[in-house]
Every structure is written in C-alpha cells, then in structure tokens.
Amino acid sequence: MDKKEKIIVKNLTKKFGDRTVLKNISFDVKEGEIFVLMGGSGSGKSTTIKHIIGLLKPTEGQIIIDGTDITQLTDKELIEFRKKMGYLFQEGALFDSLKVWENVGFYFLENTDMPKKEIYRLAQEKLALVGLKGIEELYPSELSGGMRKRVSLARAISTNPEIVLYDEPTSGLDPVTSAMIDNLIVNLRDTIGVTSIVVTHDLDSAFSIGDRIAMIHRGIIYAIGTPEEIKSNPDPIVQQFINRKAEGPITEELFRELQSEKA
C-alpha cells in the first residue's frame, strides 16, 4: 500500500517584487520518506523549504502538512504547528552569545519549565548523535564550521520532530563527517520514521540517501523520481546537472543571459 502524504506542495508560486522565483511547483513527500531537492545555485531550493516551515508566504498556492494548509494559519498557530518540524538553516544560525548546550536546548529553555540540568543532558544526548562530545560549554565562535553545522543539526532534532528540513546539511564538511550526517538522516527515518526534505548540491549524498529526488531549475521542477529514475531521465538539464558537465543547456542559458545584460 502506498504511504500517506505528509507534505503536499500544491501549485506554489513565489514572487519577490516582479521576479518570479518559484513557478507553480507541485510535489508531495510521503510519511517517512527522504525527499531530496537538488538544483543549481539560485534555482529556488531554499525558498521552497522556507515555505514549508512557514517562514515565507506563497504568492499563490498551498502547503498542506498532515492535512492542514499552513498558509492559512495565524502566526500563533504556526508557531504551535512548527513544533513538529526541525529546520537546519543553511548558515547554521547559532546564537553566538549562547553556549553550545544552550543553543541545542534553546527550544526548551525558551518554551518550557524543564530543569536546566535535564536540558543540559538532552543537549549532550543530541550532540552525541551528531558525533560531538565535551563541547557543551564552548561558544559557537570557538568551533570549526563543520562543528557549528553539527551543533545546528543537534538543535534541529532536539524536539524529536516528525519532519526535518535540511538546507545543505553536508556543505563545507569533510567526506567522513558528511557520511556521518547522511547516516544520521537515514537513521532518523529508520528508527523513528522521520520525514525529511534535504536540499543539497552533493550528488553522492543525494543518490545515496534519497528515496526520491526532485530536480529544480529556475523555479520549475524538471524531474521527480527515485535515484534510478533520475539517473535515466533524458532531460538535458537533468543530465547536465547530475553528470557535472560544464557544457549543456544550463551553461548556454547563463551565457545568453550574460550576453543580453552586456548588450
């Protein structure tokens, strides 16, 4: 039997001023699925997931999560709804003035009466999951970029969310740490059935962890399918992207644009 849809993105269009960044995109993500969103710089990946977490409102379209159209929620309702979602920001977005454990336990420090000792323990547990130990008392400025990213990931999963949205979880990480993050994403699905959307440029990671992959280019979804289906998709844009080719329709478009800007 087909799994139930957890997230439905329906005819989503987003304009910033007179620029249309997302052009009527639709897809759904099934419960417990790892759905990868792939595409070049500026293609609209971050904008798409920011709609799913409710940080952006669509110009047109709907975002339906567990049957609720979140675009219709009030700010207060949205904050409550977001409890079931974790979001790993592209830049990490840690609070520099807070220690690592306070960053990881931020949700509980802000919103609950849980004793600090317990929050500290919870932070330790989540940090261990991302391979970090003994850094609870440090500040983000004392960490490497890769460590900061992992601390952000520990924070994203601190509330045991049903849905986790990852914006470039492995960018800037060494191959071993990247593989560890990939494993963690897969483990969260296998052990507690987390539904994930992973935005990535990392083709190896996309093909190894994705149950399905969507390829977005200039605000349009060109292909959606299993890794095998994407590999054999004949679309020239998809093929140029997944084969890392310098020449092809993506570069030709870019070239034409640069020429017309010069003219």
Ligand X SMILES: Nc1ncnc2c1ncn2[C@@H]1O[C@H](COP(=O)(O)OP(=O)(O)OP(=O)(O)O)[C@@H](O)[C@H]1O
Binding site for ligand X (CB under 6 A): 16, 21, 39, 41-47
- Write down the least CB distance from residue 79 to ligand X, Å: 21
Report the C-alpha gap between 57 and 51 in whole angstroms: 6
Enclosing H/E stretch for 217: strand 212-217
What angle separates helix 175-192 from helix 145-156, to the nearest 10 degrees?
10
Report the C-alpha gap between 227 and 233 in whole angstroms: 10
- Write down the least CB distance from residue 143 to ligand X, Å: 22
Q: Would you say 89 or 101 has its CB closer to ligand X? A: 89
Q: Would you say 127 or 221 has its CB closer to ligand X? A: 221
Are 9 and 51 within 8 A, CB to CB?
Answer: yes
- Write down the least CB distance from residue 3 to ligand X, Å: 27
- Write down the least CB distance from residue 232 to ligand X, Å: 24
Dihedrals phi, psi of 106, to nearest 5 degrees: -55, -45
Question: Which residues are registered as beta bridge partners of 37?
Answer: 199, 214
Q: Would you say 90 or 159 has its CB closer to ligand X? A: 90
- Write down the least CB distance from residue 260 to ligand X, Å: 17
Q: Where are the beta strands (DSSP E) in 66-204?
A: 68-69, 85-88, 163-167, 195-200
- Taking residue 255's Cβ as centre, other Cβ atoms within 10 Å add up to 10
Q: Would you say 69 or 91 has its CB closer to ligand X? A: 91
